[in-house]
Chain A
Amino acid sequence: AQSVSQHNHHVILSEAASLELGCNYSYGGTVNLFWYVQYPGQHLQLLLKYFSGDPLVKGIKGFEAEFIKSKFSFNLRKPSVQWSDTAEYFCAVNPAGTYKYIFGTGTRLKVLA
């Protein structure tokens, strides 16, 4: 079955630390990839997306993600986190040409000021 794994469930960092959140998926075909963020009390919003082209994708607020097809991974990175990055982060996979979005279980990030 298609699935998305986010191995880090809870991450605590100090401000200015670097961030990498893992996302691996199981699907053999072409995929569209997303990272969504949910700030406390707010709705899920898109952080960045990959459909095709350059596998290194830049999103809002200094986030980026790299699609490594051979590893079925789409890890999220940020060189220097801020207290305002405290949120829950969800990776999602959309098999190309389908309506399905498969979400990971999310990673709760807490950034200490």
Chain B
Amino acid sequence: GAGVSQSPSNKVTEKGKDVELRCDPISGHTALYWYRQRLGQGLEFLIYFQGNSAPDKSGLPSDRFSAERTGESVSTLTIQRTQQEDSAVYLCASSPDGIDTEAFFGQGTRLTVV
């Protein structure tokens, strides 16, 4: 596609439920990132993919969070047993190869845990 696409745009879930967030990167981009943006705060790095491997998962806040990527395509971020503190906007970005280039962002998924 023309840009990074994320779905759903908004998700309201009950505490304790699992959620899956999807990211479609720009075609041909090998690097893919997930960030979290809590209200009034900056972008918090979660995970980086190069192709379908994740050399850096250091930002995942707990073992309730996991992510996978199919080849150089779609990525899903899964949050198990959601908690209220998981409420945030989850942003996905992609770049051609992740090195010395700009990152292109999706519109984000706003997750609200009630």
Which residue numbers of A lie inside 8 Å of B, CB to CB? 32, 34, 36, 42-46, 49, 51, 90, 92, 94, 96-106
Also in contact, A44 and B105, with CB within 8 A (given A32-B100, A97-B100, A98-B99):
yes
Contact with A along B87-107 (1 / 0, CB 8 A): 000010100001110111111
Q: Are B102 and A99 in contact (CB under 8 A)?
A: no
CA distance A90 to B37 in the complex (A): 12
The total number of A-B Cβ pairs within 8 Å is 46
Return chain B residues, CB-CB under 8 Å to A94. 100
Interface size range of chain B in the complex: 20 to 34
Q: Are A104 and B42 in contact (CB under 8 A)?
A: yes
Q: B50 to chain A: closest CB distance in Å?
A: 7
Contact of B100 among A44, A46, A51, A104 (CB under 8 A): A51
Given A44-B93, A99-B31, 9 extra CB contacts under 8 A: A36-B105, A42-B107, A43-B4, A43-B108, A97-B100, A98-B99, A101-B45, A103-B42, A104-B42
B41 close to A (CB within 8 Å): yes
Q: B9 to chain A: closest CB distance in Å?
A: 10
Return chain B residues, CB-CB under 8 Å to A49. 102
Contact of A103 among B43, B100, B108 (CB under 8 A): B43
CA distance A42 to B100 in the complex (A): 25
